[in-house]
Chains A and B, each alone.
Chain A
Amino acid sequence: MINSSLKQLGAMLAGKQISSVELTQEFLKRIDLHNADINAYITVDAEKSLAQAAAADRRIAEGKAEALTGIPVAQKDIFVARGWRTTCGSRMLENFIGPYDADIIERFDAAGAVNLGKTNMDEFAMGSSNETSYYGAVKNPWDRTRVPGGSSGGSAAAVAARLCAAATGTDTGGSIRQPASLCGLSGLKPTYGLVSRYGMIAFASSLDQAGPMAKSCEDMALMMNVMTGFDERDSTSLQREREDYTRGLQQFEGREKPLAGLRVGLPKEYFAEGLDASVAKVVQQAIDEYRKLGAEIVDISLPNTQLSIPVYYVLAPAEASSNLSRYDGVRYGHRAAQYDDLMDMYCKTRAEGFGAEVKRRILIGTYVLSAGYYDAYYLKAQQIRRLIAEDFARAFRQCDIILGPTAPSTAFRAGEKADDPVAMYLQDIYTIAVNLAGLPGMSIPAGFAEVDGKQLPVGLQVIGNYFDEARMLNAGHAYQQVTDWHQRMPEGI
């Protein structure tokens, strides 16, 4: 049952083979058993979850169930939820109890899903290894000496260790896709503006986007149906017709060449120096599989790929330094115990409340936005951002989707890059440009690479044109019909 798809779980609930309360209890029991070691959850509240499950059971009995009614979903601890402690992985918000619900929390509640708990993450979503969390590092369920990736590492580990049916994540520079790749699951960052940012604690507002993390493309399509939609409380939310992301999935089942007519672009920059040979091999095999399914492979170029990292490390810290100025110890969050005057209270509160990586990014952001530097840094970065977006626009005249690696390597060892921010930032070389351009991108399991005698998951990145999530999910679903990487589970869970 722990490896069942959301659709299968829905059918079991509808057929009264299991109740939502029983299903929730089963996952809570698993969390009890494994979380002390894996540390995927920061907060679990069995009473709250079971109350939601009981309500879901009543709704199912009344015949008013929707696709996710009664299904236990883990929420990244970046989403404010009423009555739930919401820490964003920071000491700053250690005692912050959500006074309202984020838009996506409202949407999952309305769908009747059960909030199973709040998952661990890099502090304020700044990190690629989950080692910057104030609540301790998360372990990769495939090899517990290794990192799960980040920043949505808690959600990734929870899905990989089957400590939830599915989870949510957020992705500013790769924070859904890179942990999905390192933990062997499916994760999707939608087109910027499709999912409301209301109640999602802000990191870099022009890049942040929430999305699903689950076992398969089919599961993600069901979650996208719940998560997307216009919200007037988010000024960048897009007004669009509602879309059913599951509508095309079935036509890709049981056909000889389901991807005939699909043009797949391979950016040469994504297969150049810096990519581990073991990862390249697995990704190549996945591409061969797409070819066998009928896809036509086209060589493309994204010439400004290398520039995406410098551009990102101007824009994201600049926006973060502005967003995180709200943590002043006055209205909520941590306040230093001792201080002389107001200025001292701010400075001590922020010195104590933020961890080293968050402080570094605030300082970088403050520097690039300080008087006299705006044109040289922020403006310049926004100009190159357009060049990066134009690379993709040109590429999508030649192809329908882009395939490549999600991350340059498999999961690295805990502590390996923790002291070298620049090495850590290079983890996101293939994912960041997608956020800068505002495009949808996802990572799906593509196989395993053997590293030091262990089988470690490798993710295949799929990048689509704006609003092309359904096409990406359809193609991924076709691939998942002929492969079983997405159903593999780590040992010892």
Chain B
Amino acid sequence: MSLNTADVKRIAHLARIEISESEAETTLHKLSGILGLIEQMQAVDTAGITPMSHSQDVTQRLREDVVTKTNQREEFQKIAPAVENGLYLVPKVIE
């Protein structure tokens, strides 16, 4: 599971982060150190152990299917990078 710079660039693309060739080099070095740390886990036999996601045995709550939020579009769009007529603007995606 040792990584190379092509792997780093592929992961960066999956994460939607632009990365230059030289950044990929330095990142590779640091990521390899962290993955080396993580590798210690593989020595543990975990057969049959139930994975733990929450310390308390809780289940998702259900609520009545009723409207609880009011429309705050203007409030939320005040902090948007680009809006027009109440819509968020992004580069054209459909020709």
Contacts and interface: CB of A to CB of B under 8 A. Distances in A.
A380 interface: yes
Contacts of A360: 27, 30-31, 34
Interface string B54-71: 111010110100000000
Interface residues of B, number: 51
Contact of B55 (A97, A192, A232, A377): A192
Q: Which 6 A/B pairs are nearest by Cβ-Cβ distance?
A: A438-B55, A382-B51, A335-B81, A383-B46, A351-B18, A347-B18
B55 A466 contact: yes
A235 B60 contact: yes
Interface of A: 95-97, 99, 191-193, 206, 232, 235-236, 238, 306-307, 309-311, 313-314, 321, 325, 328-335, 339-348, 350-351, 354, 359-360, 362-364, 366-368, 370, 376-377, 379-387, 389, 420-422, 425, 437-439, 466
A438 B56 contact: yes
Nearest to A420: B33
A345 B55 contact: no
A351 B53 CA distance: 30
Contacts of A348: 18
B58 A238 contact: yes
Interface of B: 3, 8, 11-19, 27, 30-31, 33-42, 44, 46, 49-56, 58, 60-61, 63, 72, 75-76, 78-82, 88, 90-93
B33 A206 contact: no
A351 B17 contact: yes
Contacts of B72: 99
Most chain-B CB neighbours within 10 Å: which of A310, A314, A335, A438? A310
Contact of A380 (B46, B61, B63): B46
Given A206-B53, A359-B17, 11 more contacts: A99-B79, A238-B56, A313-B38, A350-B18, A354-B17, A360-B34, A376-B42, A421-B33, A422-B33, A438-B56, A439-B55
B90 A384 contact: no
A307 B18 CA distance: 33
A99 B76 contact: yes
Given A360-B34, A422-B34, A331 B17 contact: no
B41 A380 contact: yes
B91 A350 contact: no
Contact of A363 (B27, B39, B92): B27
Contact of B37 (A313, A368, A370, A466): A313
A341 B90 CA distance: 9
B63 A232 contact: yes
Contacts of A389: 52, 55
